[in-house]
Structure 1
Amino acid sequence: MTDRDGFAAETGRYRRELLAHCYRMVGSAHDAEDLVQETYLRAWRAYAGFEGRASVRSWLHRIATNVCLTAVEPRVIRLLPSGLAGPSADPTRPPRPVDAAWLEPFPDAWISAPADDPAAVVVRRETLRLALIAGLQHLPARQRAILLLREVLAFSAAETAEILGTTTAAVKSGLQRARARLDELDPQPDDLLEPTDPRARALLDGYIAAFERSDANLLERVLRTDATLEATPFADWQAGRDHCVGLLERYVLGSPGDWRMIPTTANGQPAAVHHRGAPDGVVVLSPTATGVSRVVKFHEPALVTMFP
């Protein structure tokens, strides 16, 4: 076996986990791909000197985390519209685009382990939900890394300190501050349905049918009364079903047949790829037992190519 074969055999099973980790750190699926490539390039260069004092997994995450910390240092954080200001008070006002660094959705297919590869690391979908990713971006980068390493990837405080080149005391303090900040941000409740739940699929099918038929009444039946609607690159977002449906009916739904939507999954949630003649973007839904609680639409045609 060559060194390259040995490297691939030891490190390949962690690629999906590293991709998810980089995405959580930076909030961009495209950037995460580049950061994983850089991680593997650095790991290959250092492989001859790897002595096994740490596990391969820990070693790779140390490289990946530091690659991410370097990448995010000079950048503004990626946000959703709800991270900029409160909801719009006027659903009759046309959506107002703004220039910002926007969060991106993450295709579930990127982390799905092949059925014939029992050694592949399985990534838990709930650790990629949009509410969590959006909240993480508001944390200082090192606090974000500490929380992810400790609570998502389950490294010990000592292992996390080793990965970040700091002390165990600093890790414990950083984790406490990160938890407190996430609690302040009031993320979505934990009652989201899994994308495989028939109720979640029924809500997605209803949402798709409402758009393809231009049926605002069906959309009302899909959304919860307290539903929210936001879409990049627009600053204004809506809270409450009446506001959401009113804006969509006025500016988005169009005529029957204008929209074609393809079901998929993103961020461990039901999603759909939008086409309005040409590729338009991706929408991610937050389904609950009482309806869709949140709709996030990403108006970016380039994102469509990420989804099978």
Structure 2
Amino acid sequence: MRRMDHTTLHRAQAGDGEAFEQLVEPHRRELLVHCYRILGSLQDAEDILQETLLAAWRALEKFDGHSLRAWLYRIATNRCLNYLRDGSRRPESLILSAPMRASEELVSSDEPWWLEPYPDALLDEAHLSPEARYDARESIALSFVAALQQLPAQQRAVLVLRDVLGFSAAETAATLGVTSTSVNSTLVRARAGFRPEQSPDHIRLPRSHHEAEVVERFVNAFQSGDVHQVVDLLTDDAKLLMPPEPLECHGPHHIAAFLQKMRLLGPDLTLVPTRANNQPALGYYLPDPVAPILRARGLLVLELNNDQVSTITRFSDKGILARFGLPRTLPTTEDPGTICPPGH
């Protein structure tokens, strides 16, 4: 646990903005992840983090100097809860496009349509208590964050504080302004209703050799357009999720047929590796119909189950790749096999 520099604190409380930045910077990334877990949206989490730091700056004179981290978590958590209570701040889900409505392979989805991927580049070393029930890798996985979104706001916050961060009942009660008894009863209800689909046994260590082999097979199958290879690569209960579209696709054959229909199989497709939510991910590009370039079309995040892919989450926001350091366009002359993620 970091020790606070009280000289810097006194300077910040006297109005020194640079001193304030020195105080909060070590906590910025973990606070962003915290807001993301509760809200499910990186954009919303970034907004709430800015509100949190502004509120902390304005209230810094009242801070007693005991635990800056706990104080910042208190502000961030309550800002998240206020956001969730104000339904007007989150727009309604998108209207389905005609091709999506017409597809025979799709069924309605109750997954959170606002779910967004979280770039691994923004992840920091986890500061979790030994009492935390979930480890850092598990608690940032897409399926874990999606499952959190199904809980009522107060239950979501309590479960994250207690089981993800390892806060005590007393610390959680102080954060939320309730009693420890209330925290304990809320936690019981939250645990009963929390159903993350991803098992910890299926979570692979980042950049492991096994993971790299599965991802390479995935890329080869998709870029070759080999439907049989794609079907073999998917588990029998595989799912394709497509937030913000409130639809999903079940089963290897239906998924392969839908991907063919959406031009996401074949030599026209170019995949560029990256990472999201401690899971392998691929930016995908398709040829521009009027220019000799490839244009970004979205991101595929993969959930692995042993030697197969159990869930593909497709984010079709063309601008989302910028968060992962991936370009909006690629030259058509680029050999897809030579494309590497930024920094490699």
Q: Normalised by the size of structure 2, how large is the TM-score? A: 0.76
CA deviations 1:40-65 (Å, max 9, x no partner) are 11111111221124x11110000001
| CA distance, structure 2, for counterparts of residue 279 and residue 96 of structure 1 | 26
CA apart distance, 1:229:
1.4
Q: Pick from 308, 312, 315: which aligns with 1:298?
A: 315
CA apart distance, 1:102:
2.4
> SS of 1:47's equivalent?
helix
Q: Does 1:160 align with 2:172?
A: yes
Q: Pick from 246, 268, 274: which aligns with 2:278?
A: 268
* Aligned 1:8-23 pairs, distance under 5 A: 8-23=21-36
Letter in 2 for 1:281: G
| CA distance, structure 1, for counterparts of residue 212 and residue 106 of structure 2 | 28
Q: Pick from 139, 146, 166: which aligns with 2:151?
A: 139
Aligned position for 2:50: 37
Q: Check whether the contact 2:155–2:189 (CA below 8 A) recurs between aligned residues.
A: yes
Unpaired runs of 5+ residues, structure 2, are 1-7, 94-101, 129-134, 287-293, 326-344
Q: Does 1:59 align with 2:71?
A: yes
Change (3 A) 1:68 1:302: same
Aligned position for 1:48: 61
Q: Pick from 228, 234, 243: which aligns with 1:223?
A: 234
Q: Normalised by the size of structure 1, how large is the TM-score? A: 0.85
Letter in 2 for 1:307: F
Q: Does 1:104 align with 2:104?
A: no
Q: Does 1:284 align with 2:304?
A: no
Change (3 A) 1:129 1:204: same
Aligned position for 1:245: 256
Q: Check whether the contact 2:30–2:124 (CA below 8 A) recurs between aligned residues.
A: no
- Rg larger in 1 or in 2? 2
Letter in 1 for 2:191: R
| CA distance, structure 2, for counterparts of residue 79 and residue 95 of structure 1 | 21
| CA distance, structure 1, for counterparts of residue 282 and residue 196 of structure 2 | 26
Change (3 A) 1:167 1:231: same
Aligned position for 2:131: none
Change (3 A) 1:166 1:10: same
| CA distance, structure 2, for counterparts of residue 305 and residue 244 of structure 1 | 27
CA apart distance, 1:242:
2.1
Change (3 A) 1:141 1:266: same
Aligned position for 2:185: 173
> SS of 1:139's equivalent?
coil
Change (3 A) 1:235 1:69: closer
Letter in 2 for 1:288: N
Q: Does 1:25 align with 2:16?
A: no
Q: Check whether the contact 1:43–1:60 (CA below 8 A) recurs between aligned residues.
A: yes
Change (3 A) 1:290 1:134: same
CA deviations 1:148-193 (Å, max 9, x no partner) are 01111111100100000000000000000000001xx452222222
CA deviations 1:74-110 (Å, max 9, x no partner) are 2388999xxxxxxxxxx96265899x84211111111
Letter in 1 for 2:87: R
Letter in 1 for 2:225: S
| CA distance, structure 2, for counterparts of residue 221 and residue 79 of structure 1 | 37
Report % sequence identity.
38
| CA distance, structure 2, for counterparts of residue 254 and residue 242 of structure 1 | 13
Letter in 1 for 2:44: D
Q: Check whether the contact 2:120–2:278 (CA below 8 A) recurs between aligned residues.
A: yes
Q: Does 1:208 align with 2:208?
A: no
Unpaired runs of 5+ residues, structure 1, are 81-90, 114-119
Aligned position for 1:85: none
Q: Check whether the contact 2:107–2:247 (CA below 8 A) recurs between aligned residues.
A: yes
CA apart distance, 1:249:
2.7
> How many residue pairs are counted as aligned between the two chains?
290
| CA distance, structure 2, for counterparts of residue 143 and residue 221 of structure 1 | 39
CA deviations 1:213-234 (Å, max 9, x no partner) are 2222332232222211122343
| CA distance, structure 2, for counterparts of residue 255 and residue 110 of structure 1 | 32
| CA distance, structure 1, for counterparts of residue 64 and residue 25 of structure 2 | 18
| CA distance, structure 1, for counterparts of residue 255 and residue 124 of structure 2 | 33
